[in-house]
Every structure is written in C-alpha cells, then in structure tokens.
Structure 1
C-alpha cells in the first residue's frame, strides 16, 4: 500500500505486542513510547532504559524495544519521508501547523472523573489521542463520536472540542501533540473558544511524560 501524502509531515500511532522477538525501529522520526501493559526495555542512543506500565519515554535515534506486554509508539515525521504502511499502525494523519520555528513534541496523559465535561476548546497544535480506559463522548466541530478504550483519534487543534466522560468511573487517554516551541516546559496549549468557556472548570488531571524539540529548517 502506498500513501498519497508521503511527502507531508505526519503523525502516526503504532501498537506493538512485545515477546520473544525485539522490535527494531530505524532512525529518522521522533518517537514517544507508552507502555499500556507489561514492561519495556529500550536500547537506543541514550543507552539501556526500562519503563513500567502506564508510563512512557522518548526514544533517541534507532531503537530496539523488548520486554513483555503491549506498547504504543507515537511517531512524528517532520518530512514524511520515513512513512510506510505497516500492520502495526493504529492511526496516521498528515500534519498541518499554523506556526513557524521549531516544533515541540509533547506527550501527556489526561484523566477525568465520571460525568466531567471540558469547556469547548482548541489547542495550539494538532495531535493524536488514544483512550487507555473508560468511555468518552467527543464533540469535534459538528461531529459527535463515542470513544471506547483502545480507540484513537486525531485533533487538528483549531476545531472546537468538548469531551465528556460518559463512563461510570474515570477515563484516561494518552496524547501526543505538535506545539510551538514557546510552550516548552509544560506551558498550557489549551485555548477556550469563548470567554465563558475560559471561566468553566476543566475537571481533568494532566500528567506530563515529557517533551522533545524538533528542529525545522
């Protein structure tokens, strides 16, 4: 299978089940690995590292992934040149950003209690989310969708969004976004749609996994 947008910047989410055979990832794209279950061992340009379930880390250069359980790998390819169709892909989307300069790749985890709803909002850049557990009702622009555990979705950043936790307990998703470099250090990317939305409670807990700067020519 070929991709008609292979020359465009792209964000892609992969899923790998770790076992007897390590997963080898070539150098090129910028990557963040989240451990859904089990334990991950990474060997890359930063050395040998381990990561437990419900945690994550950024990968440096070519990487070998081993261990047990299931991991999600979020990949940002600023050129699109490295993208190839693969059976491990969960979701892939071209990137269109409305800012100049370096990109900030941010990985975090958002959790909300039952019944909580975000104010209508956007973000300073696009990204992919995937629900770890729970159930959400997502209103994105004029579209509505029920999102179940394991489901991934893409947000442009400029489309207005309302997310409501419709499960009986907490819901949590892992998010990787491409943002302006000026937000480095965990500065909020949240953009309420109206002054009234800005005054509403957000009722979410944010856990920042980390950030990575991506140079742009």
Structure 2
C-alpha cells in the first residue's frame, strides 16, 4: 500500500488553545524549543519540553505550554489523508515523501537525534528504511545520487534508505538533526539501521552521536 510520511512544523504560543489531532498510523512529535501540553483521553495530561519526543498515533489535544513552542510532527498516513492539517498560521508542511510499505505490523517507528561536532561527517552509508530528517542547528551538506544539497536550521530532507549518502557538517559550528525513520521490526531495541558502503569505513571512528527517543512497533 502507498503511504506518505509527512513532517509538519508547528508553532504554538504559550497557553494557546487546544488543537485536536485525529489518529493516524504512526506519529512522532519532537520539541525543538519551548513546551507543549498534551491531553490524551479524559484525564491523561502531560507536558513536553525542549529536546523531548513522544509517539502518539491516537487522537489527542495539543496546546501551548508555559512558553512559546516550536514542534516537529511526523505522521505516517494514507497518501490521500488530509485530516490532520492544522490552521496555516500555526502549522507548515515541511516535507511529504511517499513510502511503499507492506503490513505495517512488520515495521517500527524510530525518532532520534544525531549530533555532530564542527567538521563532522557521516561516511558513505545506506539505511534499512526511509525517513525524513530536519536540521536543528548548524548546517549540513547531503551528497547523494550525484547531487549535493545544503540544509540550514528547520530545513528538511528525505532519505529513501537504499541510496548511498555522504554527509558533511558545518566547519566551525556543531550541528544536529532530528529524524523519524520507518524501519523493519527486527531493528527494535535500538539496533542500528546503518550500513556502510565501503567495508573499510565500518570500523573507523565516527563523529556522529545518537540519542534515541522513540523505538516502537507500529500497531496497525
């Protein structure tokens, strides 16, 4: 079946009114800055703050927390679904990518953050599944399929998985991106999704560091 992985940038003012989001196949939200308030069901309430994430595919209410917030929201949907489009003044669709997936119970959703020091790099590699990345700070150059794309903060890009990618980050500043990937269920438990194209690179020191927030089976 054809699905889309979509990434939205949501901006909420402090104590803003609640927004209702419908259920979807899989969803991850990551707080870039500030805080948000979530109500899920009759009595479950929680607050998320900067550099935290949550998987919440079911329907829920989202509102501003104690400070203005910038949030990244990934949703795996049927490619014709437009039910979770928030008011244009609060939400921007950064990127949508089609994904041909089989039985969703055979996949996981993983949300993580990848940090690089100045002059960091990710040696030429592939992944075992596709996903959308969004730069948080610094800058990054993505070399793939004979092209080079430079990304600045809150710029998003899709990596399909099988295509070889080399990445180089800012020469003077630390850089980081947040991402969500849809991966085979056998990788649950934080197992790496990366495969290095050149065998000699596998054991070389790596400059990137990972922080996994979500690593869950898709329940549909």
Considering the TM-score relative to the shorter chain, is it more than 0.5? Answer: yes
Matched, 1:73 2:73: yes
For residues 87-106 of structure 1, the aligned pairs below 5 Å read 87=88, 88-97=92-101, 102-106=106-110
Counterparts of 2:51 and 2:105 in 1: how far apart (Å)? 32
The residue that corresponds to 2:26 in the other structure is: 30
Q: Could you give the per-residue CA deviations for residues 48-90 of structure 1, whole angstroms, max 9, x where no partner exists?
A: 111111211111410111123111111112x435346944211
Matched, 1:15 2:9: yes
Counterparts of 1:99 and 1:197 in 2: how far apart (Å)? 34
2:37 to 27, 38, 41: 41
For residues 136-155 of structure 1, the aligned pairs below 5 Å read 136-155=140-159
Counterparts of 2:155 and 2:94 in 1: how far apart (Å)? 9
The residue that corresponds to 2:202 in the other structure is: 198
Counterparts of 2:200 and 2:151 in 1: how far apart (Å)? 26
Aligned residues: 209
Using structure 2 for the length normalisation, give the TM-score. Answer: 0.87
Residue 162 (structure 1) shift: 0.7
Matched, 1:50 2:47: yes
Counterparts of 1:82 and 1:212 in 2: how far apart (Å)? 23
Q: Which moved more, 1:172-181 or 1:10-19?
A: 10-19
Structure 2 gaps of 5+ residues are none
Residues 1:207 and 1:39: Cα distance change in structure 2 (over 3 Å): same
Counterpart of 1:185 in 2: which secondary structure? Answer: coil
Q: Which moved more, 1:166-175 or 1:120-129?
A: 166-175
Residue 43 (structure 1) shift: 1.2
1:159 to 153, 156, 163: 163
Using structure 1 for the length normalisation, give the TM-score. Answer: 0.88
Q: Could you give the per-residue CA deviations for residues 170-189 of structure 1, whole angstroms, max 9, x where no partner exists?
A: 10000100000000010000
Structure 1 gaps of 5+ residues are 1-6
Kindly indicate whether the alpha-carbon contact (under 8 Å) linking 1:28 and 1:61 is maintained by their aligned counterparts in 2. yes
The residue that corresponds to 1:176 in the other structure is: 180
Residues 1:58 and 1:215: Cα distance change in structure 2 (over 3 Å): closer
1:214 to 187, 194, 218: 218
Counterparts of 1:209 and 1:16 in 2: how far apart (Å)? 19
Q: Could you give the per-residue CA deviations for residues 155-211 of structure 1, whole angstroms, max 9, x where no partner exists?
A: 001110111112412100001000000000100001101212223322111000012
The residue that corresponds to 1:186 in the other structure is: 190
